[in-house]
Amino acid sequence: MAVVDSGVDAAHPAVGSVERAVALRWDSETEDVTVTEGPHEDLFGHGTACAGIIRRAAPDAAIWSVRVLGSGLTGKGVVFAAGLRWAIAAGARVLNVSLSTGRADYYGLFHEIADEAAFAGVILVCAANNVPAPTYPAQFSSVISVAAHDGQDPFGLDANPAPPTDFGAPGIDVRVSWLSGSTIVSTGNSFAAPHVTGLVARLLSKHPDLTPYEVKTVLRAVASNAVTQGSRR
């Protein structure tokens, strides 16, 4: 599975190992995205945090690092898109996408990529925006969109009755791995998504032929069924 983020520190004890790594960046001279395969550092800590959460849920998962963000946890949309496409083409089965773009001019590009992934049997687990505004690709029905809830059970999911966010998972005051072998306590939808990514990895290890839509259905079946106010069960 691929962690599309700021990089993953393979030496962090909570991560264990990174089986494949690629760094993408924008080259202003060629005006194109460059792709460099090989070990690299985490430029911020965010990707290592996500990888550590995945490792706790799925100890045997093969983790890839696809670095598309820089030291300020920012990047260009075209680099982000290229990273997703690289991971899909390289054969990753699950992509943890704890980042997004709110730019409307990227709607079409990321909708296309989300469909490419779904048709290829690749599952995108995407963190919802931390503020109430649409972002992509988390907005699309072909991905699994996740927001934070305040539970502490790492396997505890809430099913959201009001899309586009599909599920709630632990993401508030979560202890996560960080730079230089450290840990911090942090909050955000970014850390809810990898809880679900880890569960998806466990599910696929037993049932590898499930499609993205079937995976979402299974998760819905095992989640707590939240209901909207005034609705009946």
pLDDT at 231: 46
Is the pLDDT at 230 greater than 70, yes or no?
no
Is the pLDDT at 85 greater than 70, yes or no?
yes
Written as one letter, the residue type at 109 is L
pLDDT at 233: 39
Written as one letter, the residue type at 25 is R
Is the pLDDT at 71 greater than 90, yes or no?
yes
What is the band of 228 on the pLDDT scale with cuts at 50, 70, 90? low
pLDDT at 176: 97
pLDDT tens-place string over residues 143-185? 999 999 999 899 999 999 888 999 999 999 999 999 999 999 9
**Cα separation values, 15 from 18, 131, 176, Å:** 8, 29, 11
pLDDT at 63: 98
Written as one letter, the residue type at 31 is E
What integer is the mean pLDDT of 191-205? 97
pTM for this predicted structure: 0.94
pLDDT at 132: 83
What integer is the mean pLDDT of 35-45? 97
Mean pLDDT of the chain: 94
- The three state secondary structure string of the chain is CEEEECCCCCCCCCCCCCCEEEEEEEECCCCEEEEEECCCCCCCCHHHHHHHHHHHHCCCCCCEEEECCCCCCCCCHHHHHHHHHHHHHHCCCEEEECCCECCHHHHHHHHHHHHHHHHCCCEEEEECCCCCCCCECCCCCCCEEEEEECCCCCCCCEECCCCCCCEEEECCCEEEECHHHCEEEECCHHHHHHHHHHHHHHHHHHCCCCCHHHHHHHHHHHCEECCCCCCCC
What integer is the mean pLDDT of 61-81? 97
Backbone phi, then psi, for 53, in 5-degree steps? Answer: -65, -45
pLDDT tens-place string over residues 94-153? 999 999 999 999 999 999 999 999 999 999 999 999 888 889 999 999 999 999 999 989
